[in-house]
Chain A
Amino acid sequence: MSKILNVSQLGKTYTSGTKELTVLKDINFSISAGETFAIVGPSGSGKTTLLGLCAGLDYPNTGTVELCGADIGDLNEDQRARLRNKNVGFIFQNFQLLPTLTALENVVVPLELQGVKQPAKIGKELLDKVGLADRWHHYPSQLSGGEQQRVALARAFSNRPSVLFADEPTGNLDQDTGDKVVRLLFELNQEAGTTLVIVSHDMELAQKCQRLLKLRGGKVVANEVVELS
């Protein structure tokens, strides 16, 4: 299998005034196409920072991130945006739907950015898959948390991404709703054959993935990737 994400010698430091804070140090791993991969660790371990760097939302200070064959460090912000639009899907803990757009409009935005003709048809199919076919015209504020996250799922898969990054996808949901969303996430992922990268402190969710990376204090624990299944 080809490598969809390759992280090498990755490091990230933030500067606050005169102080430097190292959030990530010497991270190395790679993910193959179609794999499910979890990044786990306690709060402050650098998981979200690592997700941001892997998805091309930020620049590393040291090392490289190669996403879908492109070195993130070589791309400017707009080139990275296009790379994300073409290859990446996102699920966030707090859903991050655009509040002024309806459910359907939220789902079709990535397609519209690609210039896809008649994106509404695809959007409605996806909303149907997440069980919200009849709620397409509702605004996020008119939907429950679980429903919002299902809209976010539909949006994440709408551009048929090569890799999907999920940041604590159940963090804002109750147990039942969270379980349903996770089930849906894995079903859609399997159906689309997408590489899935989940960031979570929930070990139960992490263990549903094929591989697991444990972080602590900005470093990979034991400096190795643990094979789960």
Chain B
Amino acid sequence: MSATASGKASVSWLFRMAWRDSKASGSRLLLFMASIILGIAAVVSIQSFSDNLKDNIAIQSKALMGADFVIDSNQPPNEKVQAIIDSLGGADARAVAFGSMAIFPKSGDTKLVGVRGIAGAYPFYGALETEPPEAAKTYQAGGGALVDATLMLQFDVQNGDSIKLGNTVFPIVGTLVAAPGSSGIGASIAPPVLIPYDAVEGTGLIQTGSRVGYDFYFVANPEQDLEELDAKVDPRLDVENADLDTHLSTGRQLGNSYGNFGKFLNLVAFIALLLGCVGVASSVHIYIKEKLRSVAVLKCIGATRRQTFLIYLIQIAGMGLFGGLLGVIGGLLLQQSFPFLLQGFLPFEVEISLAPNAMLAGLVLGVLLAVLFALSPLLNTWFVSPLQVLRIQEQESPQSRRARLWVLSAIVLFIFSFSYWLLESAEFALYFVLGILVVFAILGGIAILFMRAIKRFFPVSWGFTVRQSLLNLYRPNNQTSVLLLAIGVGAFLISTLYFTKDILLAQASLESAEETPNIILLDVQTDQKEAAANSIAAEGLPVINNIPIITMRMQKIKERPVRELILDTTAVVNRWVLFHEFRVTYRDSLVPSERTVAGSWPEQQSSTGIIPISMSANVAQDAQVAVGDTIVFNVQGVLMETRVAHLREVDWARMQINFNILFPSGVLENAPQFHVLTTNAPDLAQSASLQRKLVRQFPTVSIIDLRQILTVIEGILDKISWVINFMAFFSILTGIIVLIGSVRTSKYQRIKENVLLRTLGAKGKQILQITTFEYLYLGLLGAGIGIFLSLFGSFLLAQFVFEVDFVPSAVPFTVVLPGITLLVLFIGLFNSKSVLQSPPLEVLRREVS
């Protein structure tokens, strides 16, 4: 024999050993890797789609706005605003936008629409997609209207028909397929109708109290720095109650709002990934336990602790990398479905491309999570003594306990860091980690307690099969904890989705009582008030509310002029208060959605002569005022000095008309005002009939049918829950894979026991019963705990966050609980098929040898 020795095994030897070992046994871990693959696919798909969305928004931001920048205001431009517009070279296009009722004369049907009167070649970027295409260019000159395609379909209206807006009947010259800034949720409630700017006045729709938006669109020189322009001009416009938005800032805002939804979905995906990791930790634990003898042999023949540790670390990291790679591929394929899933939310079509960051994150996550969660069992290879080749040592050293604590800390730190990365808020990340820890700890704790309880109170008098199935739950190498965790988290997630959806819908739901308004008439002028009320009464319906509304802005807060506060960057007043046009009413009583926080209403006696007002607590907080502070309001040119006499907590969640500011009676009666009338129509037909009648009689009045809005909200919630369900599906699938893996891991142990039982004379039926009971306990307990945890969590959410009565959905109890239990039973029995069906000797030869 001749050989040369370098005296030390090379790194390549470690890789070679890892490869040799995984060739023979790695397939056992592949199933568990599948759970990591699913989790990573979920995370990568969402991350990648979010990146794509951001990129698309950046690329399409001009097309979304239709211009480089816009100056907008809720009032016609005053001299100063006009001067700014002129200094910028004058607007290239302008628009006036407002909500109004539309009548389709062909059928007499009415619908709330978003009217936009446009002058100029808007949009300058992107396009008005119309059918026929030339209508986008000719509607202004021809005096026609472009009507939203869905609306036309809904009311069976064709090009060439007409639409009546206010006092004017417009020919429909084109179907509006897409327009910048007119898609998404807003367009579902008030679909867009485009008319020429000059035709707006003739409609008579812009009156006192009308909510109107004036937009001035600009095309910038290519070299113009829009950020600089925004910084320079916007503060000057702010004090005039106008605003400048560039396509960049609008894109950013849009990106942020969709980003938040993406973050939420990412967390759901991350939970699926964590669940997979628990599966990995459990499988690696058993895997390494079986490898410890080999590790001891390797140490015996001269391998160091580092070498043996690294062999298995490389193996696990390799699997993590492989899992990560497959997860990334899966995620990229999956994200192709997102534009379809999120249809209706997105204001534009998203072009999907490869997102390198998300792909890299997937690979890193795969390796990191596999290693991190396998580290605790892997540490056993470090601490195992070579003496184990001669005898077994079960004692755990204090060193190994310390190391395990470090690993646990590293895992928690990683989950926190990753959550922080997703949420960009340390506080929310902390809550998320705590939530995860609590759910996992409760599920794990209950599993341990359950096993201890079985041991302690073992039902010795029960039948053989029932006893045997209970014994199986705490056999050596049992998977009870992992299975309960996997099943429990899955059930928890699904049930929480159902319960939360119920809470959200309960928030938005309408009370069916007759005295609860479900139709609101907006912008009713004082001279129309009586006639409108009579029309409602003539239909046999009650006029529930007849509320006067006066618009006003704050002029001074606690003696400081609002203009000064706007320019004061150190002011702590929330800025929206300074710019907001408040819609105020007057009455001397409180309504059921209001509760006194401080002071009294109506104030018994005003001693100072200053007008006492009641303010909602949230506005008072934002305006930094308390009872006794003074506020001067500008009521359409007239200044009114007021004093905060009363603070109210307002339940804004109730779908009814609430107010931030109340004046007492006897002050505003003669101010220019408009009215809001409400009624209750018992069914949709009567609602439609009333709307038709009112719109014909009062073309300028806008009518909101709360039931229709609720239908839109329900539709949106349905879509959202569909998307969330889709993501939760990954958790369930991961749970199923962990379940299959756990069943298979304990299969060998099970086979030995069952074979022994069969050899001793147990019938196949008895073995089947034992296995059935075992999985029945696991399924029922896991799903039951998950659902109850979710019930408790949702109850807290409803009580303290949404402040609504919580009436839980029955679906988790009637569908999720039996569904998951049966699934667990099916997987358990299916994977034990060979144990149940084969004769003992054959099983022993095939499975054990």
- Residues in chain B near residue A155, CB distance under 8 A: 301
CB contacts under 8 Å to B, within A111-125, are: 111-119, 121-122, 125
- Residues in chain B near residue A125, CB distance under 8 A: 1
| A115 with B6: CB separation less than 8 A | yes
Q: Give the contacting residue for A90; candidates B4, B5, B301; CB below 8 A.
A: B301
| B5 with A115: CB separation less than 8 A | yes
* A191-B9 Cα distance, complex, nearest whole Å: 27
Kindly name the residue among A78, A81, A109 whose own CB sees the greatest number of chain B CB atoms within 10 A: A81
| B387 with A52: CB separation less than 8 A | yes
Q: Give the contacting residue for B301; candidates A78, A100, A109; CB below 8 A.
A: A109
Q: Give the contacting residue for B390; candidates A57, A84, A117; CB below 8 A.
A: A57
CB contacts under 8 Å to B, within A69-115, are: 77-78, 81-82, 84-86, 88, 90, 92, 96-101, 105, 109-115
| B390 with A112: CB separation less than 8 A | no
| A90 with B303: CB separation less than 8 A | no
B356 on the interface (CB 8 Å rule)? no
In the complex formed, the residue of A with least CB distance to B391 is: A48
CB contacts under 8 Å to A, within B282-315, are: 293-294, 297-307
Q: Give the contacting residue for B294; candidates A86, A88, A100; CB below 8 A.
A: A100
- Residues in chain A near residue B293, CB distance under 8 A: 96
If A82-B304, A96-B293 touch, does A167 touch B24 (CB 8 Å cutoff)? no
* A101-B298 Cα distance, complex, nearest whole Å: 12
In the complex formed, the residue of B with least CB distance to A79 is: B304
| B3 with A100: CB separation less than 8 A | no
| B20 with A78: CB separation less than 8 A | no
- Residues in chain B near residue A58, CB distance under 8 A: 385, 387
| B23 with A115: CB separation less than 8 A | no
In the complex formed, the residue of B with least CB distance to A112 is: B13
| B7 with A81: CB separation less than 8 A | no
| A115 with B7: CB separation less than 8 A | yes
| A101 with B20: CB separation less than 8 A | yes
In the complex formed, the residue of A with least CB distance to B22 is: A100
A173 on the interface (CB 8 Å rule)? no
| B389 with A116: CB separation less than 8 A | no
The smallest C-beta distance from A213 to any residue of chain B, in angstroms, reads 18
- Residues in chain B near residue A139, CB distance under 8 A: 24
If A96-B389, A115-B6 touch, does A109 touch B298 (CB 8 Å cutoff)? yes
| A81 with B3: CB separation less than 8 A | no
Q: Give the contacting residue for B1; candidates A51, A90, A114, A122; CB below 8 A.
A: A122
| A114 with B5: CB separation less than 8 A | yes
* A92-B296 Cα distance, complex, nearest whole Å: 12
Q: Give the contacting residue for A57; candidates B6, B9, B294, B386; CB below 8 A.
A: B386
| Interface 0/1 of A112-146, CB less than 8 Å to B | 11111111011001100000000000010100000
| A86 with B21: CB separation less than 8 A | no
If A77-B305, A113-B302, A113-B303 touch, does A99 touch B9 (CB 8 Å cutoff)? no
- Residues in chain B near residue A90, CB distance under 8 A: 300-301, 389
The smallest C-beta distance from A200 to any residue of chain B, in angstroms, reads 14
Q: Give the contacting residue for A99; candidates B8, B24, B301; CB below 8 A.
A: B24
B526 on the interface (CB 8 Å rule)? no
- Residues in chain A near residue B21, CB distance under 8 A: 98, 100-101
Kindly name the residue among B8, B305, B390 whose own CB sees the greatest number of chain A CB atoms within 10 A: B390
| B297 with A57: CB separation less than 8 A | no
* A192-B10 Cα distance, complex, nearest whole Å: 27
* A117-B390 Cα distance, complex, nearest whole Å: 31
The smallest C-beta distance from B21 to any residue of chain A, in angstroms, reads 5
A214 on the interface (CB 8 Å rule)? no
* A99-B10 Cα distance, complex, nearest whole Å: 22
- Residues in chain B near residue A92, CB distance under 8 A: 389-390
The interface size of chain B toward A, counting residues with CB under 8 Å, comes to 37
The smallest C-beta distance from A20 to any residue of chain B, in angstroms, reads 15
| Interface 0/1 of A153-179, CB less than 8 Å to B | 001000110000001000000000000
How many A-B pairs fall under 8 Å by CB?
116
Kindly name the residue among A115, A125, A139 whose own CB sees the greatest number of chain B CB atoms within 10 A: A115
The smallest C-beta distance from A197 to any residue of chain B, in angstroms, reads 14
B608 on the interface (CB 8 Å rule)? no
| A81 with B297: CB separation less than 8 A | no
B25 on the interface (CB 8 Å rule)? yes
B849 on the interface (CB 8 Å rule)? yes
CB contacts under 8 Å to B, within A33-81, are: 48, 51-52, 55, 57-58, 77-78, 81
- Residues in chain A near residue B16, CB distance under 8 A: 112
Q: Give the contacting residue for B3; candidates A77, A84, A97, A122; CB below 8 A.
A: A122
- Residues in chain A near residue B9, CB distance under 8 A: 112-115
| A57 with B849: CB separation less than 8 A | no
In the complex formed, the residue of A with least CB distance to B291 is: A100
* A112-B302 Cα distance, complex, nearest whole Å: 10
The smallest C-beta distance from B400 to any residue of chain A, in angstroms, reads 14
- Residues in chain A near residue B294, CB distance under 8 A: 98-100
The smallest C-beta distance from B320 to any residue of chain A, in angstroms, reads 20
| A141 with B849: CB separation less than 8 A | yes
| A119 with B3: CB separation less than 8 A | yes
| B1 with A160: CB separation less than 8 A | yes
- Residues in chain A near residue B303, CB distance under 8 A: 81, 85, 109, 113
* A103-B849 Cα distance, complex, nearest whole Å: 18
If A48-B391, A116-B3, A122-B3 touch, does A96 touch B302 (CB 8 Å cutoff)? no
* A115-B10 Cα distance, complex, nearest whole Å: 7
* A115-B299 Cα distance, complex, nearest whole Å: 16
Q: Give the contacting residue for B299; candidates A81, A105, A141; CB below 8 A.
A: A81
| A110 with B3: CB separation less than 8 A | no
* A49-B270 Cα distance, complex, nearest whole Å: 50
The smallest C-beta distance from B212 to any residue of chain A, in angstroms, reads 77
If A96-B297, A109-B298 touch, does A57 touch B8 (CB 8 Å cutoff)? no
* A77-B385 Cα distance, complex, nearest whole Å: 9
- Residues in chain B near residue A77, CB distance under 8 A: 299, 304-305
- Residues in chain B near residue A88, CB distance under 8 A: 302
The smallest C-beta distance from B462 to any residue of chain A, in angstroms, reads 34
The smallest C-beta distance from B577 to any residue of chain A, in angstroms, reads 70
| B302 with A116: CB separation less than 8 A | no
CB contacts under 8 Å to A, within B1-54, are: 1, 3-10, 13, 16-17, 20-21, 23-25
- Residues in chain A near residue B10, CB distance under 8 A: 115
Kindly name the residue among A101, A110, A113 whose own CB sees the greatest number of chain B CB atoms within 10 A: A113
Kindly name the residue among A85, A88, A122, A125 whose own CB sees the greatest number of chain B CB atoms within 10 A: A85
| A100 with B25: CB separation less than 8 A | yes
If A100-B21, A100-B24, A117-B4 touch, does A85 touch B301 (CB 8 Å cutoff)? yes
* A97-B301 Cα distance, complex, nearest whole Å: 11
The smallest C-beta distance from B79 to any residue of chain A, in angstroms, reads 86
Kindly name the residue among A52, A86, A92, A117 whose own CB sees the greatest number of chain B CB atoms within 10 A: A52
- Residues in chain B near residue A110, CB distance under 8 A: 301-302
* A62-B821 Cα distance, complex, nearest whole Å: 59
The smallest C-beta distance from B13 to any residue of chain A, in angstroms, reads 5
| Interface 0/1 of B648-661, CB less than 8 Å to A | 00000000000000
| A85 with B24: CB separation less than 8 A | no
* A163-B9 Cα distance, complex, nearest whole Å: 22
The smallest C-beta distance from A104 to any residue of chain B, in angstroms, reads 11
The smallest C-beta distance from A2 to any residue of chain B, in angstroms, reads 22
* A55-B4 Cα distance, complex, nearest whole Å: 25
Question: Can you list 11 residue pairs at the A/B interface with Cβ under 8 Å?
Answer: A52-B387, A77-B299, A90-B301, A92-B390, A100-B294, A109-B298, A115-B10, A116-B5, A117-B3, A121-B3, A122-B1
**Footprint of A on B, CB under 8 Å?**
1, 3-10, 13, 16-17, 20-21, 23-25, 293-294, 297-307, 385-387, 389-391, 849
CB-based closest 6 A-B pairs: A85-B302, A115-B6, A100-B24, A78-B304, A116-B3, A114-B5
**Footprint of B on A, CB under 8 Å?**
48, 51-52, 55, 57-58, 77-78, 81-82, 84-86, 88, 90, 92, 96-101, 105, 109-119, 121-122, 125-126, 139, 141, 155, 159-160, 167
Known contacts A81-B305, A85-B303, then 13 further A-B pairs from the complex at CB < 8 Å, ordered by chain A residue? A48-B390, A52-B390, A77-B304, A81-B302, A92-B390, A100-B25, A114-B9, A114-B302, A115-B8, A115-B13, A116-B4, A117-B4, A141-B849
